[in-house]
Amino acid sequence: MEGIELDCIMVHVLEAGLTFLEANNPKNRPSVKGFNIINGQLADSSDGATFESRNPALLNDVLGAFPLSTKVDVDAALDAAHAAFPAWSATPAPTRGQIIGNMGRLLMEHKDDLVRLQAREIGKTLKECGGEIQEAIDTCLFFQSEGRRLYGQTVNSELPDKELFTYRRPLGVCGIINACNFPSAVPFWKMIPAIMCGNTCVWKSPQDSPLLSFALARIMHQAGLPDGVINLVHGKGSGAGQHLINAVDEGRVNKISFTGSTAVGKMIGEVCGRNLVSCSLELGGKNPLVIMPSANLENAVEGAYWAGFGTAGQRCTSLGNLIIHKDIYDEFVAKLMDKVRSTLIGDSLEHEGVLYGSMLSEKYAKDFLEVIQMCEQDGATKLFGEGRITSDNKPSGFVGTAEDGVFMWPHVYAGVTEDMRCFHEEMFGPAITLVKADDFEHGLHLANASPYGLSSAIYTNDRLEAYRFKTGIKAGMTGINNSTTGAEAHLPFGGVKGSGNGTRESGIWVIEAYSYWHAVNDELSGKLQLAQMDVDEIEMVEAEVRWDELV
């Protein structure tokens, strides 16, 4: 390893048995051979097939080669999870919490390396990656204490000499599938409460962030997690991911937690529904942000700008429809466009101060270029944006060599109405659509008019408008004088309508998704007592009241 820069690969990951591959990587960055982790052991795919992980901000930077997992590999991971379940579910909850706390402390210890690794693997900015790793830390520290608060209840019986209790019980083996736009926070949102409740997991990593997933799984095991409690398999959604979903039909999976597209989520919901298996579906969004005349326009511009273009618009909570009251439309758009035109874009590992980096991968770039075509086909007016950035086609704020990675212009489309496809469809990239509202009622109507219901926001200093918006919006989350993005580890996260099936990530509410209530009826009387039938009836006694004496 002499002469190799190790800033993006943690020492304890190397100690796991990874080997370096021969690669002419730029910046002298290492490229490794990665593995699945099944029952605590490193494993290749059963047929030896692999795929590469590439840095989307520097395409000739190969992070490594990883197993293209088969059904045999997924089955082996499920076998390990089932074998580990009895002992893990019997482990006292405070002990499970202590292991989760250890994970949080290890994340803190290795935070800087994890941040650089994540930025390298998916092209997000260092600042955003830092916030995301911190959210994984916060999740661990929050659920460490929940190990001492995994409460049941005592319930008074209607019969004498009888006690009633409720307990939380784990579901069993959970299949975990998350997208690559939040490759550290979201799997921790899912797996930490899952194992806190006593479940075991098979985690199918995102295809575009396998090395980060491997590093996170190693941290979990280093924290003291027993073998088989969390098993990691790499591969494609259509391969390993589909095999994990198919295992629901085989009766081998007791829970699926999925973050991704609405179309795939509906398919997973159908499979789980026909098997009466619990599923948590966190899906897409076309998130509205309403700007009213009473708003602080400078603050509103900042919020809309960040919501639309942070993470290159690749958040499920990114701004979709920017709904602006007609009385301030021109002034607001002028202020917003000043910021859009000056957007700093580039690889944050090389350039400081960029708002956003590359697309997550070539595939996400291709999909984005296809979907923005609908805006002009619908008749929307393009105010800014010219597709993919190249050396001959770049905004003034781009820094670096465009052809090194997959970078996009920020896009703004005006004149959008609710009869257009682009009003309703998620674009998942740096693009926003501008919609004009006649008044508050029209703005609220427009905010509710898309098929999604994940995040929403309003900028107003009229408290009645704020109240009417938060009570009238059909969404899982609402920001008041804040952007559509931003989640905290102790607040429920999730959507309604096309954005999810009503389950929630994060906070104490997520425990409902990974446990079931077990009611226990403890008869102490030594005889059969029948509820509702053996209960003594209470006779009412009529009392004569002399109303005239009370006056």
* Res. 517: pLDDT tops 80: yes
CATH of the domain at 122: 3.40.605.10
- Looking at the structure, tell me whether residues 179 and 315 fall in a common domain: no
What is residue 358's DSSP assignment?
-
| pLDDT number for residue 295 | 98
Token pair for 13: 């990951």
- In this prediction, residues 29-49 reach a mean pLDDT of 95
Q: Are residues 198 and 57 in the same domain?
A: yes
Q: When comparing pLDDT for 444 and 535, which is higher?
A: 444
Domain boundary among 236, 254, 282: 282
Give residue 6's pLDDT. Answer: 40
- Do 118 and 80 sit in the same domain of this protein? yes
Same domain, 179 and 239: yes
533 within some domain? no
Gap between the Cα atoms of 466 and 444, Å rounded: 11
Q: Are 198 and 225 in contact (CB under 8 A)?
A: no
Among the candidates 489, 519, 546, a domain finishes at 489
Instruction: Tell me the percentage of the chain whose pLDDT exceeds 70.
Output: 96
The DSSP letter of residue 166 is: E
Q: Is 504 helix (H, G, I), strand (E, B) or coil?
A: coil
Contact between 331 and 297 under an 8 Å Cβ cutoff? The reply is yes
- CA-closest candidate to residue 432, choices 294, 548, 337, 536: 337
Confidence at 18, pLDDT banded by 50, 70, 90:
low
Write down the pLDDT at residue 542: 80
Name which of 207-216, 316-325, 459-468, 534-543 the model is least confident about: 534-543
Structure tokens at 54: 């590439």
Segment among 16-25, 211-220, 229-238, 264-273 with least mean pLDDT? 16-25
- What pLDDT shows up at residue 16? 58
227 SS3 class = coil
DSSP 88-111: HHHS-HHHHHHHHHHHHHHHHHTH
> Is residue 511 assigned to a domain?
no
The pLDDT assigned to 545 comes to: 81
Q: What pLDDT, in 10s, does the model give residues 310-361?
A: 999 999 999 999 999 999 999 999 999 999 999 999 999 999 999 999 999 9
**For all residues of the chain together, what is the average pLDDT?**
94
Q: What is the mean pLDDT of residues 498-523?
A: 95
Mean pLDDT of 497-513: 95
Domain around 172: 11-282
**Same domain (yes/no): 259, 349:** no
Number of domains in the chain: 2
Helices (H) and strands (E) in the chain, counts: 17, 23
Residue 129: inside a domain: yes
Side chain identity, residue 271: V
For residues 21 and 163, state if they share a domain. Answer: yes
Q: Which of 282, 301, 319 is the last residue of a domain?
A: 282
> What distance in Å separates the CA atoms of residue 97 and residue 106, rounded to the nearest whole number?
14
Q: Which of 14-18, 260-264, 545-549 has the highest mean pLDDT?
A: 260-264
Region of poorest pLDDT, from 106-115, 274-283, 317-326, 480-489: 480-489
- Specify whether 230 is located in the same domain as 340: no
Q: Cα–Cα distances in Å, from 492 out to 171, 281, 311, 422?
A: 20, 14, 21, 29
Band (5; pLDDT cuts 50, 70, 90): very low
Residue 542 falls inside a structural domain: no
The catalytic residues are 316
Handedness of CA 524, 525, 529, 535 (dihedral sign): negative
CA–CA dist 195, 96 (Å, integer) = 7
